[in-house]
């Protein structure tokens, strides 16, 4: 009987640690599956990796993306109208993970609940996925996911925000496996002229709450912004800017943007040390 080996899984935490060993922050890139179509999103995600992304976030399209700004909402709408489903997301995970990248799924909770929590966890492992980022799920209400992720050895990334109390930071940090997602500002995703000025303080507070790795997202779109965040965070998360690049210039534009951002995260730590 011939057995097919399981896909090699690269944990996002290991990718962040590998970047840290190089003296830099990690670059985390997001794109929704199914934009412009499923095959196109695979090509674009691989382009992010080729351009320098250490971790890929693949968005599971959902009809009510409360935390997403207009760029991502429009891309998700395109994906849903094109018939993208949860199974397509798992297939995309498998194809992107085959490139050697760490792959997380970014998803609202309802689609996972409907699919079956343990079933999704098992299928994500089989596809080579690292874990989930769940923006609308808090640890207090995540019992089934905590159990499934423990059983299948998956990472779980919860979000904290500038408004999070110290007690909330401690409980969220304790529940995370992999790293903590620090939202730089209150509000939805989007390209901004500057990153929220409370982000650095949030990273410091989250580390004080026990987090070994904190990555910052919401608002980063340029190499200079990535350098600024990389000076104090363990990872820089970029989403809307990649969606815009893909829509305007295809995978080639995605790879160029990833290269610019990758240069930024490499400059960030050095510029902070030079100024200290």
Q: Which residues are known catalytic residues? A: 57, 68
- Cis peptide leading into residue 259 (ω within 30°): no
| Half-sphere exposure in the Cβ direction for 37 (13 Å, CA) | 2
3-class DSSP state for residue 75?
helix
Q: What is the DSSP letter of 9?
A: P
Number of H helices, E strands in the chain: 11, 9
Close Cβ partners of 118 (under 8 Å, ≥ 6 residues apart): 144, 148, 151, 152
Cα–Cα nearest to 239, from 83, 96, 73: 73
CA distance 61 to 33: 7
Instruction: Give 31's strand partners.
Output: 58
DSSP letter string, 151-173: HTT-EEE-EE-TT--HHHHHHHH
CA distance 3 to 61: 33
Name the residue with tokens 């080639």: 252
Close Cβ partners of 101 (under 8 Å, ≥ 6 residues apart): 10, 15, 45, 49, 53, 54, 55, 56
Name the residue with tokens 């397509």: 88
Token pair of 45 as six digits: 């995600």
**Orientation angle between helical segments 86-97 and 117-127, nearest 10 degrees:** 30
């Amino acid at each position: 009987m011939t057995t097919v080996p399981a896909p090699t899984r690269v944990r996002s935490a290991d990718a962040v640690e590998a970047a840290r060993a190089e003296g830099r922050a990690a670059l985390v890139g997001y794109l929704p599956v199914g934009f412009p179509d499923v095959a196109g999103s695979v090509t674009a995600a691989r382009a992010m990796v080729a351009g320098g992304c250490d971790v890929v976030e693949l968005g599971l399209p959902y009809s009510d993306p409360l935390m997403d700004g207009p760029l991502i909402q429009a891309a998700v709408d395109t994906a849903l109208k094109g018939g993208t489903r949860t199974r397509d997301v798992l297939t995309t995970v498998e194809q992107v993970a085959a490139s050697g990248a760490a792959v997380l799924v970014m998803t609202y909770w309802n689609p996972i609940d409907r699919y079956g929590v343990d079933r999704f966890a098992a299928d994500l492992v089989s596809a080579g996925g690292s874990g989930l980022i769940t923006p609308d799920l808090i640890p207090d209400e995540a019992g089934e996911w905590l159990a499934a992720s423990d059983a299948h050895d998956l990472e779980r990334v919860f979000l904290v925000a500038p408004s999070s109390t110290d007690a909330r930071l401690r409980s969220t940090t304790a529940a995370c496996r992999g790293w903590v997602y620090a939202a730089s500002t209150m509000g939805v995703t989007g390209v901004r002229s500057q990153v929220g000025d409370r982000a650095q303080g949030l990273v410091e507070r989250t580390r004080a709450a026990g987090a070994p790795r904190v990555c910052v997202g919401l608002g980063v779109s340029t190499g200079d912004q990535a350098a600024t965040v990389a000076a104090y965070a363990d990872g820089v998360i970029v989403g809307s800017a990649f969606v815009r690049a893909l829509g305007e210039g295809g995978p080639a534009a995605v790879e160029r943007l990833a290269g610019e951002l990758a240069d930024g995260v490499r400059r960030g730590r050095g510029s902070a040390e030079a100024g200290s």
